[in-house]
Amino acid sequence: MSLPERALLEIAANSLESALAAQEGGADRIELCENLGEGGCTPSYGTLALARDRLRIPLYVLIRPRGGDFVYSPTEWEVMQRDIELCVQLGCDGVVIGGLTAQGQVDWDGCSRLVAAAGGLGVTFHRAYDCVVDPGTALEQIVGLGCERILTSGAHDDALQGAAAIAHSVARARGRLSIMAGAGVTPQTLPAIASRSGAHEFHASAKTLMPGISPASAPQGLSPAYWRSSAALVRQLRASLPA
Protein backbone atom coordinates (compact mmCIF):
# COMPACT_ATOMS: atom_id res chain seq x y z
CA MET A 1 0.00 0.00 0.00
CA SER A 2 1.00 3.64 -0.41
CA LEU A 3 1.46 5.30 2.97
CA PRO A 4 0.97 9.07 3.31
CA GLU A 5 4.05 11.18 2.56
CA ARG A 6 2.68 14.10 4.55
CA ALA A 7 0.37 14.50 7.50
CA LEU A 8 -3.29 14.00 6.57
CA LEU A 9 -6.41 15.31 8.26
CA GLU A 10 -9.67 13.36 8.18
CA ILE A 11 -12.84 14.97 9.49
CA ALA A 12 -15.70 12.95 10.94
CA ALA A 13 -18.60 14.85 9.42
CA ASN A 14 -22.04 14.18 10.91
CA SER A 15 -24.01 15.76 8.05
CA LEU A 16 -23.70 17.07 4.53
CA GLU A 17 -23.21 20.60 5.86
CA SER A 18 -20.43 19.37 8.15
CA ALA A 19 -18.75 17.62 5.23
CA LEU A 20 -18.88 20.75 3.07
CA ALA A 21 -17.53 22.87 5.94
CA ALA A 22 -14.69 20.39 6.40
CA GLN A 23 -13.85 20.57 2.73
CA GLU A 24 -13.89 24.37 2.85
CA GLY A 25 -11.55 24.30 5.84
CA GLY A 26 -8.94 22.17 4.08
CA ALA A 27 -9.64 18.61 5.20
CA ASP A 28 -7.91 15.87 3.22
CA ARG A 29 -10.68 13.31 3.61
CA ILE A 30 -14.21 12.99 5.00
CA GLU A 31 -15.57 10.19 7.16
CA LEU A 32 -19.29 10.70 6.70
CA CYS A 33 -21.52 9.54 9.53
CA GLU A 34 -24.39 10.56 11.78
CA ASN A 35 -25.12 10.30 15.52
CA LEU A 36 -21.65 11.32 16.70
CA GLY A 37 -22.99 11.28 20.26
CA GLU A 38 -23.19 7.49 19.97
CA GLY A 39 -19.81 7.17 18.33
CA GLY A 40 -21.22 7.49 14.81
CA CYS A 41 -23.59 5.47 12.63
CA THR A 42 -24.17 5.07 8.89
CA PRO A 43 -25.70 8.19 7.29
CA SER A 44 -28.83 8.26 5.15
CA TYR A 45 -28.98 7.62 1.41
CA GLY A 46 -29.76 11.26 0.72
CA THR A 47 -26.75 12.42 2.71
CA LEU A 48 -24.52 9.93 0.92
CA ALA A 49 -25.77 10.79 -2.55
CA LEU A 50 -25.47 14.55 -2.14
CA ALA A 51 -22.09 14.28 -0.45
CA ARG A 52 -20.80 12.23 -3.37
CA ASP A 53 -22.10 14.86 -5.79
CA ARG A 54 -20.64 17.85 -3.95
CA LEU A 55 -17.37 16.76 -2.39
CA ARG A 56 -14.11 17.08 -4.29
CA ILE A 57 -12.04 15.31 -1.62
CA PRO A 58 -12.09 11.57 -0.79
CA LEU A 59 -15.32 10.39 0.81
CA TYR A 60 -15.28 7.47 3.23
CA VAL A 61 -18.51 6.28 4.85
CA LEU A 62 -18.88 4.90 8.35
CA ILE A 63 -20.61 1.52 8.22
CA ARG A 64 -22.15 1.00 11.64
CA PRO A 65 -25.83 0.15 12.16
CA ARG A 66 -26.12 1.38 15.74
CA GLY A 67 -24.26 2.70 18.76
CA GLY A 68 -23.09 0.48 21.58
CA ASP A 69 -20.80 -2.52 21.28
CA PHE A 70 -19.23 -3.92 18.13
CA VAL A 71 -20.65 -7.44 18.43
CA TYR A 72 -23.25 -7.71 15.70
CA SER A 73 -26.12 -10.05 14.95
CA PRO A 74 -26.45 -11.78 11.55
CA THR A 75 -29.10 -9.22 10.60
CA GLU A 76 -26.81 -6.32 11.45
CA TRP A 77 -23.98 -7.80 9.37
CA GLU A 78 -26.44 -8.07 6.47
CA VAL A 79 -27.44 -4.43 6.89
CA MET A 80 -23.79 -3.35 6.83
CA GLN A 81 -23.13 -5.35 3.68
CA ARG A 82 -26.08 -3.70 1.93
CA ASP A 83 -24.87 -0.27 3.03
CA ILE A 84 -21.44 -0.98 1.55
CA GLU A 85 -23.01 -2.13 -1.71
CA LEU A 86 -24.81 1.23 -1.84
CA CYS A 87 -21.52 3.07 -1.26
CA VAL A 88 -20.01 1.17 -4.18
CA GLN A 89 -22.96 2.09 -6.41
CA LEU A 90 -22.67 5.77 -5.48
CA GLY A 91 -18.95 5.86 -6.21
CA CYS A 92 -17.69 6.56 -2.71
CA ASP A 93 -13.94 6.30 -2.18
CA GLY A 94 -13.97 4.05 0.85
CA VAL A 95 -15.78 2.62 3.85
CA VAL A 96 -15.02 2.46 7.55
CA ILE A 97 -15.80 -0.89 9.17
CA GLY A 98 -15.18 -2.98 12.26
CA GLY A 99 -16.73 -5.82 14.20
CA LEU A 100 -15.73 -8.05 17.10
CA THR A 101 -16.60 -11.39 18.58
CA ALA A 102 -18.01 -11.66 22.10
CA GLN A 103 -14.48 -12.68 23.17
CA GLY A 104 -13.03 -9.34 22.05
CA GLN A 105 -11.35 -10.54 18.87
CA VAL A 106 -11.75 -9.26 15.32
CA ASP A 107 -14.77 -10.96 13.76
CA TRP A 108 -12.88 -12.35 10.79
CA ASP A 109 -15.85 -13.88 8.99
CA GLY A 110 -18.06 -10.81 9.25
CA CYS A 111 -15.32 -8.31 8.40
CA SER A 112 -14.13 -10.44 5.47
CA ARG A 113 -17.59 -10.25 3.95
CA LEU A 114 -17.64 -6.48 4.32
CA VAL A 115 -14.20 -6.10 2.72
CA ALA A 116 -15.32 -8.31 -0.15
CA ALA A 117 -18.46 -6.21 -0.61
CA ALA A 118 -16.29 -3.07 -0.76
CA GLY A 119 -14.47 -4.40 -3.81
CA GLY A 120 -11.93 -1.81 -4.90
CA LEU A 121 -12.95 0.79 -2.30
CA GLY A 122 -10.49 1.73 0.44
CA VAL A 123 -11.21 0.24 3.87
CA THR A 124 -10.48 1.74 7.29
CA PHE A 125 -10.90 -0.35 10.45
CA HIS A 126 -12.51 1.90 13.06
CA ARG A 127 -12.15 2.18 16.84
CA ALA A 128 -13.51 -1.29 17.46
CA TYR A 129 -9.73 -1.85 17.48
CA ASP A 130 -9.65 -0.03 20.83
CA CYS A 131 -11.89 -2.69 22.35
CA VAL A 132 -9.93 -5.84 21.42
CA VAL A 133 -8.27 -8.01 24.07
CA ASP A 134 -4.99 -8.38 22.12
CA PRO A 135 -4.10 -5.38 19.91
CA GLY A 136 -1.10 -7.11 18.38
CA THR A 137 -3.09 -10.08 17.16
CA ALA A 138 -5.90 -7.80 16.02
CA LEU A 139 -3.50 -5.65 14.01
CA GLU A 140 -2.20 -8.70 12.15
CA GLN A 141 -5.76 -9.79 11.39
CA ILE A 142 -6.65 -6.34 10.10
CA VAL A 143 -3.59 -6.38 7.85
CA GLY A 144 -4.76 -9.78 6.62
CA LEU A 145 -8.21 -8.41 5.84
CA GLY A 146 -6.62 -5.92 3.45
CA CYS A 147 -7.52 -2.75 5.34
CA GLU A 148 -5.42 0.30 4.56
CA ARG A 149 -5.57 1.95 7.98
CA ILE A 150 -6.72 1.64 11.59
CA LEU A 151 -8.35 4.46 13.53
CA THR A 152 -7.33 4.33 17.19
CA SER A 153 -6.99 6.32 20.39
CA GLY A 154 -4.56 3.74 21.73
CA ALA A 155 -7.44 2.24 23.75
CA HIS A 156 -7.61 5.39 25.89
CA ASP A 157 -10.26 8.05 26.25
CA ASP A 158 -8.34 10.30 23.87
CA ALA A 159 -5.38 10.04 21.55
CA LEU A 160 -3.09 12.16 23.71
CA GLN A 161 -3.47 9.77 26.64
CA GLY A 162 -3.03 6.85 24.27
CA ALA A 163 -0.10 8.29 22.29
CA ALA A 164 2.41 5.71 23.55
CA ALA A 165 0.13 2.82 22.58
CA ILE A 166 -0.52 4.44 19.19
CA ALA A 167 3.25 4.72 18.69
CA HIS A 168 3.58 0.98 19.36
CA SER A 169 0.94 0.25 16.71
CA VAL A 170 2.62 2.65 14.27
CA ALA A 171 5.91 0.79 14.67
CA ARG A 172 4.29 -2.62 14.28
CA ALA A 173 2.25 -1.62 11.23
CA ARG A 174 4.98 0.30 9.41
CA GLY A 175 5.00 -0.38 5.70
CA ARG A 176 1.80 -2.43 5.83
CA LEU A 177 -0.98 -0.07 6.85
CA SER A 178 -1.40 3.40 8.32
CA ILE A 179 -2.32 4.11 11.93
CA MET A 180 -4.63 7.12 12.25
CA ALA A 181 -4.84 8.84 15.64
CA GLY A 182 -8.30 9.92 16.71
CA ALA A 183 -10.38 10.99 19.75
CA GLY A 184 -9.85 14.31 21.45
CA VAL A 185 -7.83 15.70 18.54
CA THR A 186 -7.99 19.50 18.67
CA PRO A 187 -5.73 22.28 17.39
CA GLN A 188 -4.26 22.41 20.90
CA THR A 189 -3.59 18.67 21.30
CA LEU A 190 -2.67 17.70 17.75
CA PRO A 191 1.03 18.75 17.84
CA ALA A 192 1.69 16.68 20.99
CA ILE A 193 -0.27 13.70 19.64
CA ALA A 194 1.75 13.83 16.43
CA SER A 195 5.14 14.07 18.12
CA ARG A 196 4.43 11.37 20.74
CA SER A 197 2.60 8.88 18.53
CA GLY A 198 4.53 9.09 15.27
CA ALA A 199 1.22 8.93 13.38
CA HIS A 200 0.84 10.74 10.07
CA GLU A 201 -2.95 10.64 9.81
CA PHE A 202 -5.29 12.36 12.24
CA HIS A 203 -9.05 12.14 12.76
CA ALA A 204 -11.20 14.84 14.34
CA SER A 205 -14.76 16.10 14.22
CA ALA A 206 -13.91 19.83 14.47
CA LYS A 207 -17.44 20.31 15.69
CA THR A 208 -19.06 23.33 17.26
CA LEU A 209 -22.47 23.58 18.95
CA MET A 210 -24.99 25.45 16.82
CA PRO A 211 -27.74 27.14 18.84
CA GLY A 212 -30.53 26.18 16.45
CA ILE A 213 -33.85 27.95 16.13
CA SER A 214 -36.94 27.41 18.22
CA PRO A 215 -39.95 29.78 18.30
CA ALA A 216 -40.71 28.71 21.86
CA SER A 217 -39.00 27.01 24.75
CA ALA A 218 -38.46 23.38 23.83
CA PRO A 219 -39.35 20.56 26.22
CA GLN A 220 -36.60 18.36 27.59
CA GLY A 221 -35.12 16.14 24.89
CA LEU A 222 -36.07 18.53 22.08
CA SER A 223 -33.32 21.11 22.36
CA PRO A 224 -32.85 23.09 19.12
CA ALA A 225 -29.06 23.02 19.48
CA TYR A 226 -27.01 20.67 17.30
CA TRP A 227 -23.39 19.90 16.42
CA ARG A 228 -21.77 20.77 13.11
CA SER A 229 -18.19 20.72 11.88
CA SER A 230 -16.63 24.17 11.63
CA ALA A 231 -14.55 25.28 8.66
CA ALA A 232 -12.62 27.61 10.99
CA LEU A 233 -11.74 24.76 13.35
CA VAL A 234 -10.68 22.60 10.43
CA ARG A 235 -8.36 25.39 9.29
CA GLN A 236 -6.87 25.55 12.78
CA LEU A 237 -6.33 21.78 12.76
CA ARG A 238 -4.78 22.02 9.31
CA ALA A 239 -2.37 24.69 10.59
CA SER A 240 -1.46 22.48 13.57
CA LEU A 241 -0.41 19.51 11.45
CA PRO A 242 3.30 18.68 11.44
CA ALA A 243 5.12 19.74 8.30
Within 10 A of 172 (CB to CB), how many other CB atoms are there? Answer: 15
Read off the pLDDT of residues 125-181 as tens digits, 9 standing for 90 and up: 999 999 999 999 999 999 999 999 999 999 999 999 999 999 999 999 999 999 999
Sorted by where each starts, the structural domains of the chain and their CATH numbers stand as 8-209 (3.20.20.380)
pLDDT tens for 73-86 read 999 999 999 999 99
Is residue 54 within 8 Å of 43, Cβ to Cβ?
Answer: no
Residue type, 143: V
Global pTM reads 0.95
Residue 152's contacts (CB-CB under 8 Å, 6 or more residues apart) are 127, 129, 130, 159, 162, 165, 166, 169, 179, 180, 181, 182
Is 217 a residue whose pLDDT tops 80? Answer: no
C-alpha dihedral sign at 81, 82, 84, 89? positive
- Percent of the chain predicted with pLDDT > 90: 87
Give the pairing of strands 122-125 and 94-97: parallel
Q: What percent of the chain has pLDDT over 70?
A: 98
- What's the CA angle centered on 228, arms 47 and 239, to 5 degrees? 110
Is residue 125 within 8 Å of 149, Cβ to Cβ?
yes
